[in-house]
Amino acid sequence: MSVTHDYHVHSNYSDGTVLRQMVAAAADAGLAGVGIADHCNVSAREWLMREKREYGMNLDQTYPLRRDGIEGLSEQFDLRIFDAVELDYAPRDEDDIAVFLDEVDFDYAIGSVHRVDGTNVQSSTPFTGMSERERRAFVDDYYERLVDLVESELFAIAAHVDLVERTPELRGYTTADHHAMVTDAFRRSRTVPEINAGRVLRGYGEYHPAPDFRAALRERGVEFVTGSDSHEPDEIPNRKAAFEEFFAERESEPIRLFD
C-alpha cells in the first residue's frame, strides 16, 4: 500500500532543514500531503523562554513568516502542505496553549511530552544515577502527563506516545497498565496517536509506539496517522518506504485527517 500523508515533518523554523528542501523532498517522494509541524513552546516559565531563544525555536514569533513561505510553496508543488505545529505540553501550560492555538489557527496541532517536571525524557544523563524505583516512578509520571495531554483535547495528534522507550535507561519500564491507561484516554478523546518513524532506521530501531503498545491500541479500536518526524530531506522518502513495508506486512493502513 502507498502512504500518502506524513503529518510530522520539521523545517528550519525549528530544528529541521530549509523549508523548501523539506517540501521538495515530500513532493519527490510522491506524498499527497505533508505537515510542517515545527517545535514550539509557549510556556511563560523563564527557563523555558530562555532555552527556546538560545536554541532558536521561536515559532510562536516566526509562524507568520513560515505561513507566507508555505503559501508560496503550495503554488509551486503538487501536494497539500499543512501549516501545523508540534507543541510541548505540560498541564500547567494548558491555558497558554489554548490561547495561542486559538489566536494562530494552525491547520492542526501535535502535542508532545518531551519533559516531565523539567527533566528531558530523551536525555540519558538525568537517569544514570537513578535507582530502578526512581526510574519506574519517572515513567509513571510520563504516562500520567501523556494522559493529561490526550484528555486536554488541545491537539489533533499525540506524538511518539512511548517516547521514554527511546532512552536506554528508561526502556522496559512501560507496563501493560500504562498501555491500558493511555488507550482508554485515546478512546475518550478526539486526539489520535501517530505511528512515529523518528528512530526506526537508526538508534532505537523501533516505531513509536512499540509493538505491544500498538497491539493494545489496535485491540481497543484506536487508529493511527503516520508521522515520519523527519528533520532532513532524505529521511522523508526513506521513512515513507519503511511505513509502506510496515503496513503492507500487516495488511492495514493509517487513517487520513483533514481531507
- pLDDT for 75 beyond 70: yes
Nearest Cα residue to 3 out of 237, 213, 161: 237
Q: Check whether residue 120 and residue 209 sit in a common domain.
A: yes
pLDDT of residue 105: 97
Q: Check whether residue 118 and residue 220 sit in a common domain.
A: yes
pLDDT of residue 27: 98
Range of the domain at 22: 1-107
CA 221 remoteness from chain centre = 20
Output the domain CATH number for residue 70: 3.20.20.140
Give domain status of residue 164, yes or no.
yes
Segment 158-169 mean pLDDT: 98
State the total domains in the chain. 2
Q: Check whether residue 95 and residue 163 sit in a common domain.
A: no
Scan for cell 512511548, then name that residue. 162
Q: Which residues contact 186 (CB under 8 A, 6 or more apart)?
A: 150, 158, 192, 193, 217, 220, 222
Dihedral class, residue 172 (left if φ above 0, else alpha if ψ from -120 to 50, else beta):
left
End position of a domain, from candidates 107, 123, 158: 107
- pLDDT for 1 beyond 70: no
pLDDT of residue 189: 97
Determine the Cα–Cα distance for residues 244 and 248; give it in Å rounded to an integer: 6
Query: pLDDT by residue (tens digit) across 119-157?
Result: 999 999 999 999 999 999 999 999 999 999 999 999 999
- pLDDT for 52 beyond 90: no
Query: pLDDT by residue (tens digit) across 79-110?
Result: 999 999 999 999 999 999 999 999 999 999 99
Q: Check whether residue 118 and residue 103 sit in a common domain.
A: no
